[in-house]
Chain A
C-alpha cells in the first residue's frame, strides 16, 4: 500500500514537472455522472479518467500532458447545454467528448460547427451523424448496425416472416423505425408489429397475438426489465419461435432477470462481453482483455460497453492529435476524418468525410445465451 502511494506521489511529481515543461492539452467532457443516466455516465467518467492517467503516465501526447475538463450534466439536457457553452467559451478546450445521452448530444451538437471545435459523442442516436455534420463524430454503434446483424443471421437461417415487439420509449421507438425499414428492405415479411410500455409487467397478450401471426422469428427491442418479462412470458406460453433481443440487454443483469427463460435467446452484442472467447487474431482482443482487467482492478465493478465509449472517444482524440501533430481544433477534426482501422472497445473505427460513426455491422458479434452465459454464435 505504502509503495503504491509513493508510486502515485512520484507519478504526480513527474506529471507536475511535465506540466511546467509544456502547456497541457485541454480536452472537455460532458458526462451524465449523476441522475437517471448515471448507469451510463459513471463508467464513462471512470474510463475517461483512467485513460487520461494512462496517457499522461506514458508522457502525454506530443510531450504534453492531457488535461480533462469534465462537467456532470446530471442527465439534464439544459445542464448539458450550459456545460458545452462553458467548455467552448470559457475553458477553451481543443475538443469535446460527450454527451452521454442522445437527447443531450442532439441539443449541444449544433454549437460545435459555430465554435469550430470537434465533438465526439458517446450516445447512440443515428441522427447525430446522419446527415453528417463536419464537426460531430460518434463512437457508439447505431441501431442500424445491430438490426443489420440480426437480419443477416435470420437470413442465413432461412427465416421469411419476422415479428417485432418493441418498448414504447426512445430506445424502442428508434429500433422499431429501423426494423420497419430494414425488415422489408432485406426481403423479409413483417407479420406483426407489437409494442409494450417500459413499465409493463405482462406481455403475454402481445406474444399471443404474435404467435397467431406465425412468424419464423421474433425480434424484441428494449432495455431491462421489459425484455426479461418478454423472455419469461415466451417460456410461459411454451413458444418455440426463435427470439432475438437487441444489444440493449447485453448485460449479466438480463440473464439474472430472465432466469432459465433466457436460454437460447440470441442477440447482437459488442465484443467486450465475449472478449475471452474471441480468436487471438481479432484486432480488438488484447485491448479488450487489458481494459477489462484494468477497469475491474481499479473500480471493483464489471466493465460495460458504455465505459468503452469513453475509452474510444478519448483515445481517438489522442490518436488524431498525434497524427495532426497539433492541438488546433481544425487539425484534430481533419485528422479524425483520416482515422482508419483503429481498434477500439466498441469496434474497429474507420472514419471518412461521409461516415462519422466509423463502424459497421462487425462492431457486433451475434451471441446466444447458454448455461447462463454468452456464447459467440458461429
Chain B
C-alpha cells in the first residue's frame, strides 16, 4: 500500500511549488498594499502563455521566457498604475473587486488573441526521468524546485538587506508613517505589483513544460495559491511557499491513498480544519492587526 509514497511526495512537491509561487505573489501585494490581488493567477497564465507565443515567434527558449517574465512584471506595474492607483483611497474590498475585474479582462483578451487551445512548452533540459528512491523525477521538477528556492532566497535578502525591501515592509506596517519618512508609498505599491507579476510569471514559465497552459489556467491556480497563502499565514512569504508545498503534497497523497475523485477537496478540508484551530495559518504570527 505504501508502494507509491515516494512518487506521491515528488508529484506533490512539484505541483505544490506552483501553488507556492502563486502564493508568493499574493503575499507580495498584500504586504505593501493590504489588497488580495485576485488577478495573481492571471500573471501565472501570462508567464506561460507569453513564453509559448514568443517561442513560436522564433525566440530561443531562455530569451522567450525572460521576455515573457519581464512583460508580465510590466503588466503588473501597469495594472497598479491604471486601475488601482486612481481609486487608491477606497475600501480594500473595492480594490479586491477591481482585481477580479482585471483577471476576467486579461483572461478574455488572451482568449481572443491566442484562442482557447492548450499549449505546451519544451522542458528546459530534456524529459528523460531520473530515478530517485523508487520515484521518477522529471528534470523539470528539479528546475521548478530549485528556482522556487532561489526566488525565496532572493526575496529574503531583498526584504532584510535592501533599502527598497525595507521601504516596502514599512509601507505595509504603516502607510502614513512611511510616507512621512519620505517613502513614496505609491511607487512601492507599483513596485510590489510589478514584483508579483514577475513572481507569478516565473512560476508560469517554469511550470508550463509540466502542466501545459491555456487562457484559463489562472483561475484554479489563483484559488489554490490563495489557499496556500492562508494555510501558511497571510503576509508571510515563507509561510506562503511552505503552504503551497504542503497543499500539493496533501492533494497528491489524498489522490493516491484515498480517492482521486475528491483530490481537490482534501486540501480545502485540511485548510478549513486548520483555520478553525489556528486562524492565523501555520506560520502566521499570534496576532493579526491588519484591518
Given contacts A201-B210, A237-B7, A260-B127, contact A196 B260 (CB under 8 A): yes
Judged by a CB distance under 8 angstroms, whether A236 is at the interface is yes
* A238 adjacent to B136 (CB under 8 Å): yes
Interface residue count on the A side (C-beta < 8 Å): 32
CB distance from A250 to the nearest CB of B (A): 16
CB distance from B12 to the nearest CB of A (A): 8
B103 partner residues in chain A, CB cutoff 8 A: none
* A224 adjacent to B260 (CB under 8 Å): no
- Chain A-chain B contacts (Cβ-Cβ < 8 Å), number: 96
* A236 adjacent to B127 (CB under 8 Å): yes
Given contacts A201-B15, A259-B120, contact A209 B129 (CB under 8 A): no
* B212 adjacent to A201 (CB under 8 Å): yes
* A238 adjacent to B129 (CB under 8 Å): yes
Judged by a CB distance under 8 angstroms, whether A229 is at the interface is yes
Q: Which residue of B lies closest to A36 (CB)?
A: B116
Kindly identify which residue among B117, B136, B252, B259 contacts A237, using a CB–CB cutoff of 8 Å: B136
Q: Which residue of A lies closest to B2 (CB)?
A: A212
Judged by a CB distance under 8 angstroms, whether A228 is at the interface is yes
Judged by a CB distance under 8 angstroms, whether B220 is at the interface is yes
Q: Which residue of B lies closest to A228 (CB)?
A: B212
Judged by a CB distance under 8 angstroms, whether A88 is at the interface is no
* A197 adjacent to B7 (CB under 8 Å): no
* A195 adjacent to B136 (CB under 8 Å): no
* B8 adjacent to A205 (CB under 8 Å): yes
Given contacts A197-B263, A259-B120, contact A208 B4 (CB under 8 A): yes
CB distance from A38 to the nearest CB of B (A): 9
> 1/0 contact trace for B98-132 toward A, CB 8 Å?
00000000000000000011111010000101010
Q: A211–B11 Cα gap in the complex (Å)?
A: 15
Given contacts A201-B211, A238-B136, contact A256 B14 (CB under 8 A): no
Judged by a CB distance under 8 angstroms, whether A225 is at the interface is yes
Judged by a CB distance under 8 angstroms, whether A74 is at the interface is no
The winner among A195, A208, A209, A238 for most chain B CB atoms within 10 A is: A208
B136 partner residues in chain A, CB cutoff 8 A: 236-238
* A237 adjacent to B120 (CB under 8 Å): no
> 1/0 contact trace for A206-247 toward B, CB 8 Å?
101101100000000000110011001001111000000000
Q: Which residue of B lies closest to A254 (CB)?
A: B118
Q: A39–B116 Cα gap in the complex (Å)?
A: 9
8 smallest beta-carbon distances between A and B, as pairs: A201-B211, A225-B118, A208-B4, A205-B255, A204-B11, A205-B256, A195-B261, A208-B7
